[in-house]
Structure 1
Amino acid sequence: MIGFAHRGSPAPHQRENAMPAFRRALAGGAGGLESDVWLTADGVPVLHHDGALGPPGRRRPIATLAARQLPGWLPTLAAFYHELGASFGLSFELSLDLKGPDTGFAPKADSVIAVARAAGGSAAVGHLWLCGHLTQLADYRAHDPDVRLVNSASLEAVRAGGGPEAYAERLRAAGIAALNLRTREWTPRTAGIVAVLHERGLAAFGWDAQRTATLRRLAGYRLDAVYSDHLDRLVRVTGRRPGTPPTDDARPPSPA
């Protein structure tokens, strides 16, 4: 099960979606990172949650600013790959929500994939998951055959789409790799959807998994990925990313 550190799972007093949080998550053993992507006025993908900067009353949308106008702590996607790739390699999974003015999903996705490909070629793209709505993803599939697409949806949408089997067939036919539901929608009554997805070669994701008991419950349902704000709980349940040492409290005692 992939453990995505939501917005980097920042420590107290760290900025979310900023390089110290991302570095901390990977050093702590997280198998993946999650963030939101916005395009600047000059088309540069940057990582930020709500897409606006500045104090209350004077906030400016990132989409109206050139990359050179951004504060130094706000990472571009290119800088993200450059810095983390140098320290950790590019084998970690990366889940991105594409945000911003409704200029279409494709231009944003194309920009993100171009940066990933420049940073690490097909290897980087192979670890990239782009999240969006079903219609957006279905329309985009022909643009790039390699990137993995994640349908962020709700149980209501699955039911309105004809039920789990019919909805899963729509995802498979559209070339979408995974269905992502909020954690509270994965219950003993809906856990059978995981098998429906797996039978069709699709993955099941769960977001907003915060408690250790919740993470363990989702692991029991055989979900393929979870998103959490709590790095220690996430790594405890999903396991440490290969190549990262255990924390001191996880190390076996030294022989006497």
Structure 2
Amino acid sequence: MPTRHPSLQQPPIGFAHRGARAHAPENTVEAFSLALRLGATGLETDAWVTADGVAVLDHDGLVGRRPRRRRISEVTRADLPPEVPSASELVPLLEGDVHLSVDVKDPAAAVPLIDALAEGDPTRLARVWLCHDDHDLLLSWREHARPVRLVDSTRLKALAQGPERHAARLRTLGIDAVNLHHSDWTGGLVTLYHRFGVRAWGWDAQHARILDGLLDSGIDAVFSDHTDRMVDALGRARSPTPVPPGVDPGI
């Protein structure tokens, strides 16, 4: 039985990637609602801004059919397909302790996104995590709204000076978490980031063995298309770790 290492985030967040996209059309209110009914504790999406300044949720930022696809930034909100939700439409789902991770694909979407999510209850922003690989952009968004949480989305191979210096820089800047592909993580790497007070997130965790391995390593959040598998893994991680035969539980 592998040793379970503690997470900084208790309990770890289970983000439904683009909603419950293995079970419903991705990045739709239907998918987000289903993910929460299945037990996800967080939602993940991508943000773009329309020509008339509305933050909307879509993966690739293109609408229409080939060869006449158009960028969302060139289209007004009224001309988007109805299944593309605005950030405001997500607000009713962000009740209680639900977290939201947003990959801000168009930096111009950040301010209208933040403003839409803060409408009626600015404290909601403490559970909003904005993801990007540009540290200056991340910090500028916090200047707009202090409660938002910041996440460096990168890959291990992109860390030219190595993970220890990277972790130290994130701590200095006040960036809350680093999001790496699940294959980049080891227990030792999670522990390293935790030593600097930086949360460790793992994405593309689609199978039970990957989810269990990440959670055993002390990861603070996982992302999965398969909300049901993810919720099951989070349940296993919350269960007491069995004591192996012959081991004194008081040690």
Query: What is the TM-score normalised by the length of structure 1?
Result: 0.82
Residues of 2 paired with 1:209 and 1:108: CA distance?
27
Aligned pairs for 1:157-168 within 5 A: 157-158=158-159, 160=160, 162-168=161-167
Residues of 1 paired with 2:53 and 2:22: CA distance?
30
What is residue 62 of structure 2 aligned with on the other side? Answer: 52
What is residue 242 of structure 2 aligned with on the other side? Answer: none
The amino acid across from 2:194 in the alignment is H
Secondary structure, counterpart of 1:206 in structure 2: strand
1:216 and 2:212 matched: yes
What is residue 100 of structure 2 aligned with on the other side? Answer: 94
The amino acid across from 1:32 in the alignment is G
Residues of 1 paired with 2:212 and 2:190: CA distance?
15
What is residue 130 of structure 1 aligned with on the other side? Answer: 130
What is residue 224 of structure 2 aligned with on the other side? Answer: 228
* Pairwise CA distance, 1:173: 1.1
Secondary structure, counterpart of 2:119 in structure 1: helix
| Residues 3 and 235, structure 1, Cα contact 8 Å, conserved in 2 | yes
Residues of 2 paired with 1:142 and 1:77: CA distance?
20
| Backbone CA RMSD of aligned residues | 1.7
Deviation per CA, 1:60-107, whole angstroms, max 9, x where unpaired?
21111111111222110101213x25xxx252010001113xxxx3x4
Q: Which runs of 5+ in 1 are unaligned?
A: 241-256
1:185 and 2:196 matched: no
| Residues 156 and 163, structure 2, Cα contact 8 Å, conserved in 1 | no
What is the count of residue pairs matched by the alignment?
224
> Larger deviation: 223-232 or 130-139?
130-139
Secondary structure, counterpart of 2:194 in structure 1: helix
4+ long deviations beyond 6 Å: none
| Residues 194 and 221, structure 1, Cα contact 8 Å, conserved in 2 | yes
What is residue 248 of structure 1 aligned with on the other side? Answer: none
Residues of 1 paired with 2:139 and 2:158: CA distance?
16
* Pairwise CA distance, 1:119: 4.1
In structure 2, do the counterparts of structure 1 residues 72 and 140 end up closer, same or farther at CA, with 3 Å as the change threshold? Answer: closer
What is residue 245 of structure 1 aligned with on the other side? Answer: none
The amino acid across from 1:155 in the alignment is L
In structure 2, do the counterparts of structure 1 residues 56 and 119 end up closer, same or farther at CA, with 3 Å as the change threshold? Answer: farther
Residues of 1 paired with 2:49 and 2:181: CA distance?
26
